[in-house]
Amino acid sequence: MILLEKQWINVQEKTFRKWLNNKIKPRNVAVNDLAIDLADGVNLIHLLELLSNESLGRYAAKPKLRVQKFENVNKCLDFIKSRSIQLTNIGAEDVVDGNRKIILGLIWTLILRFTISDINEEGLSAKEGLLLWCQRKTACYEGVDVRDFSSSWNNGLAFCALLDIHRPDLIDFDTLDKSDHKGNMQMAFDIASREIGIPDLLDVEDVADVPKPDERSLMTYIAYWFHAFSAMERVENAGRRVEKFVSNMQGAWEMESAYEKRMRALLEQIRNQRQTWRDSRFEGTYTDAKAQATEMSRFKRSKKRDWVGEKSEIGALLGNIKTKLSTYKLRPYHPPPELRFEVLDEEWAGLTHDEQQRSRLINETIRDIKNALRRSFADKANDFALTLNTLSLAISGLEGDVDDQLQHAQKLASNIPVLEQYLEGIEALDQKCQEANIDENDYTTYTYDELVYELSLVKQSTSKKLTFLENQMVARNMTNLTPIQLEEFESVFRHFDKDGTNTLHELEFSAALASLGLVYDEQEMHEKFLDICHTGLDPATSPVTRRQRESRGVGFEQFIRFMVAVTEDQNSAEQVFDSFREVADGKPYVTEMDLRHSLIPEELIDDLLQSMPEHRGPDLETDRDVPKYDYITFMQGMMGDGEKQSNGDHRPKTSVR
C-alpha cells in the first residue's frame, strides 16, 4: 500500500511539475522540485499571474527570511480564494515547509480551475464532459473502451484513436500492432508533442500496462488533447464559414468594384469633353460652323447616348447594391466621396449646360430657321426629357424596403404609356421641322431620335428594376433557405437567364441544375421542366405570374421553390431507408457492429435489434457467424404502399451528385 502511494505521488509530482513548467515558461523560470522550488512563493506568484493574466502586486522577489516566504505564499492563497476557488486544509506553512501531498493538492486545484473546468460537453461537469468527449471520439475503434481516466488508457490505443479521428494523416490505426501497448503509446505521445504541440506531461511507463494509472495525471494530460483538437475544429469550422460567406458574397463585392470603375471612367470622359468644348474656337465661316454643328450632332448620336445609358445603368447598379446588402442585413455600401452619384449629377448638369451653350453658340451662325416651329418642338422635347430624367432618377434612386420600392416602381412604370402617347405628338412636330429643313434648335439639346432612345432606356431600366425587386421579394420570402443558399441560387439563375426574360427555358434550366450538382436523365429532366412550368403561382403573393405566362419557362420563384424542395431535408421514410443502406454499407442486412459504428445511442440500438427481423438470405463471408437483421423488411413494414413501390429495387430514381 505504501509502495502504491509512493508511486502515484511520484507520477503526480512529475506530471504536475511539467504542467507548471509549461505554464511559467514565458517567465524564463523552471521548477525542479515542487516541495523546494515553491517554498518561497515566487514561482507560485509567477504561475498565478500567467494563469489569470493579472498582477498580484508587490512581493519579495528574492525572499531570504522565513517571514518573507510566508508573506509571498499567503498572497498567493489569498488571491486563489478571491477567485472563489475552494481551498481545504492548505496553509502557508504547508507550502513553506514543503508538505508534498498538500502542494500536490494545491496544484491539482489550480489545474482543475484553469485547465479542466472550462471543458463542457452537453452541460456535464468538467470531468464528466471530458470523459464523454473521449468516449464519443473513440467509440468506433476496436479495442478501445474508455470508461475512466485510469486503466482504460494503459494499452495506448485510446490515445492512438484520438489522433486517428482528428488527424488521420498522422497515424493509421488499422495497421497498429494492438498488443504493443508501450510502442503504440510512445508513438501517440511523440506525434502529439511533435505535430500537435501537446506538452509531454506523462511518460509511457507512467501509464502503459500499469494496473491503475494516476487519474489526476491522466486528466491533466488528456485535457491538453481536448483543448488542442477543439481549437483545431473551431478554426477549421470558422475557416469553412468564412470561405463560404466570401464565396457567396463575391457578387456584391464585384458589383461595388464595377460601380466604382464605371463611375470613375464616365466622370473622366465627361470632364474631358467639357474641356474640349472650352478650348474650341470658331473660324467665323459658315462651313466651319456647319462642320462643328455636324460634330455636335455626331456627339449627340454616339457619345452622349452611350453616356446616358451608362449613367442610367450606374444608377441602377448602385440601387441594386444597396438593395442586395439591405436584403441580407449587411452594412450599407457608401461609395468614396469623389465617386458619389451626386458628383455625377453635378458633372452631368455641367455637361448639359456646356452642351446647350455650345449648341446655342453654333446655332447663332445659322439663322434661316423658323423659330416658332423650333420653340414648339423644344418646349415639348424639354418637358419630355425632363420627365424622362425625373423618371430615370426616381427609378435609379429607389431605396429602402423592397415592398415600398416595388410599389413606387410600379407607379413610375404606369407613366410610360402616357409618355409614349406624348412622344407621338413630338414625332409629328419633328416631321414638320424636317420638312422646313430645320437641322438645329437653340431651345433644346434634344432630338426626336434621342428622346426615343432615352425613353427606351427608361423603359428598359424600369423593367430591369421591377424584375430585380420582384425577385428580391421572392428571395426574402424563402425563409427556409439561408442567405448564402439564396445568393447561390439567385446567382445561378441570373447566369443562365441569357435573354434577360427572368425565365429559364428547358436547356437553360437543365444547365442551371447541373451547375448546382443536380443531374437527371433526359426524359426525367423534361418531365420535371414541364411540371415546374405548369405549377401555378398565386397572383396575390407572386407578382411575376403574368410575366411568366407570357413566356413559357421556369420563373425565378418557381426555380427557388424547386431548389427548396430538392435541398430541404424532410426526413422521409425513403431518406431513412437510404440511411439504413449507408449504415449497412450496401448489404441487404445490418449487424450490431454496423449500428454501433454509426454512433447510434446504445438504448436505440437495443430497441432496433429487438424490432428488426432476422435476415434469412445469403451472408457475406466476413459476416457468416454474426447475427444479421433484415432492415429492408423492417422499413417496408413501416412505409406506405407508394413508398414501398418506389423503394422496391433499393436504388435512387435519379442521379444526384
Mean pLDDT on 230-253: 74
Q: Is it the case that residue 316 has pLDDT exceeding 90?
A: yes
pLDDT at residue 306, rounded to an integer: 93
pLDDT at residue 120, rounded to an integer: 64
**Do 305 and 413 fall into the same domain?**
yes
Q: Place 159 in a pLDDT band, splitting at 50, 70 and 90.
A: very high
**Do 410 and 292 fall into the same domain?**
yes
CB 4 within 8 A of CB 210: no
Mean pLDDT on 387-397: 85
Q: Is it the case that residue 483 has pLDDT exceeding 90?
A: no
pLDDT tens string 397-410: 888 887 788 788 88
Among the ranges given (226-235, 303-312, 338-347, 533-542), the one the predictor scored with the smallest mean pLDDT: 533-542
pLDDT at residue 475, rounded to an integer: 67
Is residue 525 domain-resident?
yes
pLDDT at residue 466, rounded to an integer: 79
Q: Is it the case that residue 549 has pLDDT exceeding 50?
A: no
CATH number at residue 503: 1.10.238.10
Among the ranges given (327-336, 421-430, 486-495), the one the predictor scored with the smallest mean pLDDT: 486-495
**Do 462 and 524 fall into the same domain?**
no
How distant, in Å, are the alpha carbons of 45, 330, 396, 419 from that of 391?
74, 28, 9, 11
pLDDT at residue 121, rounded to an integer: 60
Q: Is it the case that residue 307 has pLDDT exceeding 90?
A: yes
CA distance 280 to 252: 42
**What H or E segment, with its residue span, contains residue 511?**
helix 506-515
Domain that holds residue 583: 573-656
pLDDT at residue 649, rounded to an integer: 47
How distant, in Å, are the alpha carbons of 194, 331, 389, 542, 547 from that of 473?
54, 20, 27, 9, 15
Q: Which backbone phi and psi does 614 adopt, to 5 degrees?
A: -70, 150
CA distance 509 to 559: 9
pLDDT at residue 305, rounded to an integer: 92
The domain boundary, picked from 428, 447, 473, lies at 473
**Do 546 and 612 fall into the same domain?**
no
Is residue 218 domain-resident?
no
**Do 313 and 352 fall into the same domain?**
yes
pLDDT at residue 453, rounded to an integer: 92
**Do 468 and 536 fall into the same domain?**
no
pLDDT tens string 439-456: 778 888 889 998 999 889
CA distance 216 to 492: 56
Is residue 190 domain-resident?
no
pLDDT at residue 544, rounded to an integer: 44
pLDDT at residue 597, rounded to an integer: 82
The more confident residue out of 90 and 124 is 90
pLDDT at residue 653, rounded to an integer: 35
The answer for residues whose C-beta is within 8 angstroms of residue 297's C-beta and 6 or more apart is 439
CATH number at residue 32: 1.10.418.10
Mean pLDDT on 342-370: 83
The more confident residue out of 262 and 578 is 262
The grid cell for 214 is 494516476
**Do 416 and 389 fall into the same domain?**
yes
Among the ranges given (292-301, 362-371, 464-473, 492-501), the one the predictor scored with the smallest mean pLDDT: 362-371
pLDDT at residue 536, rounded to an integer: 53
Question: What is the pLDDT of the chain when averaged over all its residues?
Answer: 82
The domain boundary, picked from 473, 497, 523, lies at 473
Kindly tell me the sign of the dihedral angle through the C-alpha atoms of 593, 594, 598, 603.
Answer: negative
The domain boundary, picked from 66, 95, 116, lies at 116
Q: Place 379 in a pLDDT band, splitting at 50, 70 and 90.
A: very high
- Total of domains in the chain: 4
Is residue 163 domain-resident?
no
**Do 380 and 516 fall into the same domain?**
no
